Amino acid sequence: MFEIKSGKKAHLVVSRARSGLINRYRDFLSGKRSKRIDSWSATKLFTPGDLSFFYFGKPIGSIVAIAIVNSTHRDDVGPFDWTKRPITTFCKYRPVWFLKKQIQLSTGQKMQGL
């Protein structure tokens, strides 16, 4: 069990499972063995110690992992294959807990504390 320290926030990180020819979900799963994600999209509101829930849209439609933000955010200039935004914000996440059973968003909204 872990505890969110006072003043820390929880975020829902939303990604498309597929965007054109890019399989973002497969890219995300590449961090499973190391239990860390060294660069994934974020917002400027993310701060080290915050809790993040990783949700992937269709066809997955579920929360697939939970992680702790492990770095301050940084902005990178695109272009990126998976977004039209010219500048995207990224963070590092460590540790990452990949869920054995994915949580449907409708179920997650009913859970106490989410």
Write out the residue range of the structural domain in which residue 29 sits. 10-105
- Residue 107, pLDDT > 80, answer no
**Looking at the domain assignment, is residue 43 inside a domain?**
yes
Burial string for 22-34 (b: 16+ CB within 10 Å, else e) reads eebbeebeebeee
Percent of the chain with pLDDT over 90: 24
Residue 1 domain-assigned (yes or no): no
CA distance 112 to 114: 6
Whether 111 is covered by a domain: the verdict is no
Residue 100 inside a domain? The answer is yes
| Number of domains comprising the chain | 1
> Which residues face 76 on adjacent strands?
88
CATH number at residue 83: 2.30.130
Q: Examine the pLDDT at 67 and tell me if it is beyond 90.
A: yes
Look at residue 113 in the predicted model and tell me its pLDDT. Answer: 52
- Domain annotation covers residue 110: no
Question: Is residue 59 a part of any domain in this protein?
Answer: yes
Percent share of the chain, pLDDT over 70 = 82
Question: Can the peptide bond before residue 48 be classed as cis, meaning omega within 30 degrees of 0?
Answer: no
Work out the pLDDT band at 22, boundaries 50, 70, 90.
low
Report pLDDT digits (tens) over 23-44: 778 888 888 888 888 888 888 8
State the pLDDT at residue 58.
79
> Binning pLDDT at 50, 70 and 90, where does residue 52 land?
very high
For residue 87, is it within any domain? yes
Does residue 5 sit within a domain? no
